[in-house]
A and B are shown apart, each in its own frame.
Chain A
Amino acid sequence: MVQRILLGPQKPTSNLREAADAIATDGPVVVITAGWRDSEGEIEELRDELGRPVEDLMIYHRAEEIFAREPALRDLKRERQDKLKELQDLYRIRLGPTLSAARKLLRAEAQPELLKLEQRAAIAQVRALDRHHLRRIQSIHREFDLRRGELDLSAATAEREAVQRQVAGAGLVLIAGGHVAVLLNRMRLFRLGEELAKRPLIAWSAGAMALTERIVLFHHHAPQGRRDSELLDAGLGIVPRLILLPHARTRLDWRNRRRMSLFSRRFAPAACCTLDNGSLLHFEDARLLDARGSSVVSRTGRRRAMTPS
């Protein structure tokens, strides 16, 4: 059985030590801080917090070195990123009005038996759009993988296998937060999903999001006004049936019950689960052993405590 712990942001206070004590494994501890991009590897604070030696896998920088040595791979990756970015822009064109229609119907007043069906249909349209978007993203990834397989990438392959061996030999893998797309891309590039699924893990914020089946970007108080929550990509799928919401306290508009209800219903049956500073979700395989400081957005848009299974 594999132990996994998901945490919220580690500032202003860290509960990483508490999580590591709960897992209590032997063997080397490795960390992935690719989400920190240029700051990858600056793990002195993390080592102090944990009180154990920790080795950073440095996959952000190793990937940069691979791209420098393998320009064909770099170009292929750029092409994929450009496509994904463009696809995200196209998705937003439909997402805005589709969500707007659902919001209007949730606000509308009409005969209940008429309204209920229309509301349900509007939410189904949003869900269908999300599903369609995810399929399109996955086909772009598949195309990338196929074309990558056709390249002669001996240096990249050796590097990838070296990282996979480090993960396989680890007693505990930590995955820090940061830029969620960069983190996910680097973990994908090194094909770490399969190995990570077998190791004891502690992941926080973006690190935790990257382990789920679907990654949702959200911020109800974005600086330039309302922005619709959007599906970014499929995650590694190691933690199923959860949409993780780090920084929920500051990013979610709990006062707007309709908006929160739509959020919850849009991603059901996955549970939309908050991860704030101090949150701790402890899984043994898929079984939830402990759930502290975390809430689930209910179907009616209310905050409901997360409870162990």
Chain B
Amino acid sequence: MNPALATLTRDGAPGPEAVEAFFRDHDFPLVEPGNVTFVYRGAADEVILRRWISGFNTALPMQRIDGSELWVLTMDLPPGSRFEYKFEVVRHGGRELLLDELNGVVAHDPFGANSVCQGYGYERPAWTLPDPEAAAGTLTRLAVDSRAFGSRREVGVYLPARFRRNRSYPLLVVHDGSDYLRYAALQSVLDNLIHRLEIPAMIVALTQSPDRLVEYTGDPRHARFVVDELLPALGAAYPLSDGPGARGLMGASLGGVAALHTASLYPDRFGQLLLQSGSFAFSDLGHHQKGPAFDPVVRFVNSYRKSPFALADKIYLSCGIYESLIYENRSIVPLLQAQGMQIHFEEARDAHNWENWRDRLRSALTWLYPGPVWMVYE
């Protein structure tokens, strides 16, 4: 048990004043090198820690301290780890998923919010936070009439600070771009890395599919939209550098599949791919177990695994080790390497979430698009 908690409960159930003082004096969860202790306070029949991770037990029952309404659980956690969680509270036969009220660190995603457990030594990277010294880029929108989809698509466009029409810029096309902005601080990351000269000033197209479970799962219409419609529209509207070396695709989860699939259909168009926790599901033996939505993904990945080829110059991949996709990602890395492409693969003590993807962006972007920092002293 955590030493502070052990002291609190040394003489049995602590009184309300002692509990209040304990809560006031500590940050929660209680983090130590190698472990973490969660504390929930409230009347309940049962409290379960729900961890949004894969490959481990996601539901861990908490223990009540006799005679109190305090529920506690200590678990091992390697330094630098991070995962998201909620408390499942069972009361009068009902179940409720609650944020950890004692923990102010919360992460958001399209499905809501989760409490965040930051293991010993984890710190949110400074380059993900707004820097007053970094000049901010601007966000604008571009409408593209898509024949591939038979509809008009609105695409967000990030223009770097001090954007000039008489220069040319590399391009990065980001799948789930609005989510990257909202949940992974993409604008601050771009502003900061460009300001620090760690990446060049670049234009970033932020696509957002209205139906990603179809369009991002190996849909040729999406690839056609990106290459035959979006790229020309961006080229007409903005000064883009020529050649595949100045163009990249990026995406997380199914967005990673969409990026890889698009590059596979147009292998001479994109020099760089940034793939985070890509859902590269495949089946070597029998049918896959991931549900019908993944059928086209599995067809595409199986086909690529059967006949792999080079589809970009450089590919950065990352994946959390607390997510099931680590298996698929570890599996695809040697296959990609064998095609002669430059591959950089990173694993993180994190799970399938936006802040994991946020925290890897510096490493990914500076490797794919190295900036002039080494030679430039402004």
Contacts and interface: CB of A to CB of B under 8 A. Distances in A.
Genuine A/B complex: yes
Interface of A: 9-12, 35, 38-39, 177-182, 205-206, 209, 217, 219, 222-224, 227, 246-247, 250
A178 B363 CA distance: 24
A4 to B, nearest CB: 18
B166 to A, nearest CB: 8
B74 interface: no
Contacts of B198: 223
A178 B378 CA distance: 4
A205 B164 CA distance: 24
A206 B366 contact: no
Interface residues of B, number: 20
A223 B362 CA distance: 7
A223 B363 contact: yes
Contact of A177 (B366, B370, B371, B378): B378
Interface of B: 133, 164, 166-167, 193, 196, 198, 362-363, 366-367, 370-378
A10 B378 CA distance: 8
Given A38-B167, A180-B377, A247-B378, 14 more contacts: A11-B133, A12-B133, A177-B376, A181-B375, A205-B377, A205-B378, A219-B373, A222-B374, A223-B193, A223-B370, A224-B363, A224-B370, A246-B378, A247-B377
Shortest 3 CB-CB distances between A and B: which pairs? A223-B366, A205-B377, A206-B377
Contacts of A209: 377
Given A205-B377, A209-B377, A179 B133 contact: no
Contact of A224 (B166, B193, B366, B377): B366
B133 A217 contact: no
Looking at B133, B198, B363, B375, which has the most chain A CB atoms within 10 Å of its CB? B375
Contacts of B374: 217, 219, 222, 227
Contacts of B367: 224
Contacts of A247: 377-378
12 contacts: A9-B377, A11-B133, A11-B378, A35-B376, A38-B166, A177-B377, A180-B377, A181-B375, A206-B376, A206-B378, A223-B366, A224-B363
A227 B166 CA distance: 34
Contacts of B167: 38-39
A274 B314 CA distance: 36
Contacts of B366: 223-224
Contacts of B196: 250
B interface, by DSSP: helix, strand, loop or mixed?
loop
Contacts of B372: 179
Contacts of A246: 377-378
A145 to B, nearest CB: 23
Contact of B378 (A9, A38, A227): A9
B133 to A, nearest CB: 5
B257 to A, nearest CB: 27
A217 B375 contact: yes
Contacts of A219: 373-374
Given A223-B362, A224-B367, A180 B376 contact: yes
B242 to A, nearest CB: 15
Contacts of A182: 375
Contacts of B371: 223
Contacts of B378: 9-11, 177-178, 205-206, 246-247
B373 A179 contact: no
Contacts of B370: 223-224
A9 B377 CA distance: 8
A219 B374 CA distance: 7
B190 to A, nearest CB: 14
A266 B166 CA distance: 43
Contacts of A35: 376
B363 A179 contact: no
Given A223-B366, A224-B366, A224-B367, A178 B377 contact: yes
A208 B371 CA distance: 22
A206 B125 CA distance: 28
Contacts of B193: 223
B299 to A, nearest CB: 36
A178 B375 CA distance: 8
A38 B363 CA distance: 27
Nearest to B133: A12
A246 B196 CA distance: 13
Nearest to B365: A223
A178 B376 CA distance: 5
A131 B321 CA distance: 47
Contacts of A223: 193, 198, 362-363, 366, 370-371, 373
Nearest to A232: B375
A196 to B, nearest CB: 18
Contacts of A178: 376-378
A199 B133 CA distance: 33
A177 B197 CA distance: 13
